[in-house]
Amino acid sequence: MIRACVHGDCVIVWEREKAKRLFDSGYFGKLREDRLELSLCEAFYLVEEGKLEVYLRGKRLSRKEFYDYCCKNDKRFYFRYVVYRDLRKRELPTKTGLKFGCDFRVYQRGVHPLKRGKKSAKEHTKWVVFAVPEGFKFSFPELARAVRLAHTIRAQMLWAVVSKENKVKYFQVKFFKP
C-alpha cells in the first residue's frame, strides 16, 4: 500500500520509487522530480482500487472520510469521479483537463499520454470530456465553446452524462463547417 498526503485539491506521494511505480502503472498524476501529484479523482480511484492510503495532517482517512473531503473541496466531485472511474475501467488513459477548460483529456487505449517529442495523430488527446449530471442545462455559447476547444486541439468533444443510477452515457458534438 502506498502512502499519500492530502494537500488542498491534490494528493501527493513523496516516496520517489513508489511514486514512479504508481505513475508507470497507468500514467496517474503528474510526476515531478521529488513527488507524484494526483488529482482528487485519481487519488480516490486508487484508494478504491486498494493501491493508496491517504493521510491528512498525520491521520489516515477512511474511504468515507476521504470521499467527504473530496466532495467538500470540489462541488462537482461526484459526477467527475463517476466519469473518471468509468473511463479508467474501460482502460483509457485519462488525465485532468484543467488546462484545457474541460474535466478530462482521454487518450486511445494503449497510448502513452505524456510522450515527449513528435507524436503520431493517434498519440494526441482523442477526447475532451465534460462530466455533467442528468438534466444538466447549458447555454448554446457554453456548448459552442466546448466544441471549439476540442476542435482547436484536434480532439472530439464528449458530454459524459451521469444518470441517477450512476450510469454514464457519452454524447459527441462535432464542429461542422459547411
pLDDT (tens digit per residue) in 112-160: 666 556 666 566 889 999 999 998 888 888 888 888 888 888 888 999 9
pTM: 0.90
Q: What is the mean pLDDT of the chain?
A: 90
Residue extents of the structural domains in the chain: 2-73, 77-173
Return the pLDDT at 138. 81
Residue 98 pLDDT more than 90?
A: no
Return the pLDDT at 143. 80
Range 38-58 average pLDDT = 97
In the DSSP assignment, the letter for residue 118 is -
Q: What is the distance between the alpha carbons of residues 168 and 178, in angstroms, rounded to a whole number? A: 31
DSSP reduced 3-state for 24: helix
- Given CATH 3.40.1170.20, say whether it is the number of domain 2-73: yes
In the DSSP assignment, the letter for residue 33 is S
Higher pLDDT, 175 or 158: 158
How many separate helices (H) and strands (E) can be counted in the chain? Answer: 5, 11
Q: What is the distance between the alpha carbons of residues 178 and 145, in angstroms, rounded to a whole number? A: 18
CATH class of 77-173: alpha beta
Contact 5, 14 (CB under 8 A): yes
Residue 177 pLDDT more than 70?
A: yes
Higher pLDDT, 35 or 117: 35
